[in-house]
Structure 1
C-alpha cells in the first residue's frame, strides 16, 4: 500500500468515526421503529461497522445487502437513494434512505443508511383505501439481506431464477444471458468470489458462469429493469 493509499484509508476511517454518533442519534430520534446502519464497503463481507435499532436484524460485522452490492458495481456512478419502500422477508414494510460516502478523491467507500418500519402506517393506509373505495398502495418488493453475504447472494440468485420460472437446464441461451444480466444489474458480481457462488447455486461449472457473465456484458440487449426500493 502506497503512502497516498494509507492517507486515504486514514481519511475514510476518520469519516466513519465521525458518523458513529450520528447512527445512535438517528435511532434515538425516531424511536424503536428506526434502524441506522453505517457501512464500510472496503470489507463487503463485514461492512456493517455501526448499527442502532433493529428493523432488519443487522449486526456489527454483518455483510452488505443488495443495495450495497449495487453501489459497489456502480462505482463513481453511484448516487444517494432516499425515501424508497421495500419489504423484508418477514413481511415488514420499510421506508429507507441510503447516503453514499465518498473520500476526497470522490471514490465511494461506504454508506449511511436509515430504515424505518412503516408496516402499521401501511396497514392503516390500506384500510382507509378500502373504506374510501380507492386502490390500495402498490406492493413493495422483497429485499434479500442478512448478516452473511453468502446468504444475501444466494437469495438474490434464487429470486432472479424464479423470475424465469424454470430451472437452469430448461432455459435457452437468451434466458440464461438475461439471468446473468439481471444478477449483474443487481450488483452480485461486485462481491469477491460471487461468480463461483452463483455457479454452485445454479449447478453449473465456474467456467460456464464466467462465460455467461462475459457474454451478458457484451450483449447489446438492454439490461432487465432493476427492482426499485431495496433497502440497505
Structure 2
C-alpha cells in the first residue's frame, strides 16, 4: 500500500479507538511528509490537537533518526497545562522502511494518578516525570518551546553563551529535528534574538563539522 492508502485506511480506526477508551483518550494520525501541518486526523480532545496542527518534539526527534527510529510506547509526560498523559507513538513506514507518519494514542491519566495514591499500583507509574511536551497546532510555539528547553539545559540565557555554546545549541536543535520544519531557521533566530544570517551560518557550520 502507498503512504496515502495507509493513512486513508487508518482514519476510521481513530474514532473506534477513542470510543473504546472513553473521553480521556485521544488518537492522532500524522503525515510526517508535511512536518509543519502533520496532523491529518484526530479523535478525542486530550491535547487539543486539531487537523493541520504541527508535530510535537517527540515526532521531530523520531523523524530525525530516520530508519533507526523505533516506536515509543507507554511514555509519560505533562502537557503545557499540567495534565499527566500516557502516550504511545507507533510509526508508519513505506515499503523502503522510511518513516512517513505515525499513529499516536494519548490517555489523560491525571485523575487516575490521584486515585493511585489510594489504590496502590493501579496506574503502574513509579514517578511523575518532569519533562513537558508541547502539544500545539502552531509551528512557532513548537520551535520556541524546543529552543527554551535546550536553553534551560545550558543553564543561562542565550545572550550570555559563547560562540562554541551557541554551536552546541544549534547542534542539539538539529539532532531534535527542528530544522526539518519549514521556516525553522527564522523562527529559531527570532527565539534566540539573533539575525537570520547568524542562524544560517551556525547551522551550516555544525552540519559541515558533522560531515568531517
Contact residue 157 and residue 183 of structure 1 kept, 8 A: yes
TM-score (structure 2 length as normaliser): 0.88
Q: What runs of 5+ residues in structure 2 fail to find an aligned partner?
A: 121-125
**Relative contact order, higher structure (CA 8 A, sep 6+):** 1
Q: Does 1:22 align with 2:9?
A: no
Structure 2 counterpart of 1:118: 109
Q: What pairs with 1:1-232 in structure 2 (closer than 5 Å)?
A: 11-126=2-117, 137-217=127-207
Contact residue 150 and residue 169 of structure 2 kept, 8 A: yes
Contact residue 73 and residue 189 of structure 1 kept, 8 A: no
Contact residue 85 and residue 140 of structure 1 kept, 8 A: no
Q: Distance in 2 between matches of 1:182 and 1:149?
A: 18
Count matched residues. 205
Cα deviation 1:184-212 (Å, max 9, x = unaligned) = 22221111221121012111122221232
Contact residue 97 and residue 114 of structure 1 kept, 8 A: yes
Cα deviation 1:138-182 (Å, max 9, x = unaligned) = 434101120112211111112222332322221113321222222
Q: What secondary structure, in the 3-state scheme, does the structure 2 residue paired with 1:90 have?
A: coil
**Greater than 6 Å deviation, 4+ residue runs:** none
What value does the CA root-mean-square deviation take over the aligned residues? Answer: 2.1
Q: What runs of 5+ residues in structure 1 fail to find an aligned partner?
A: 1-9, 130-135, 221-232
Cα deviation 1:57-91 (Å, max 9, x = unaligned) = 00112111112212322222221110001100111
Q: What secondary structure, in the 3-state scheme, does the structure 1 residue paired with 2:96 have?
A: coil
TM-score (structure 1 length as normaliser): 0.81
1:124 and 1:217, CA in 2 relative to 1: closer, same or farther beyond 3 A? Answer: farther
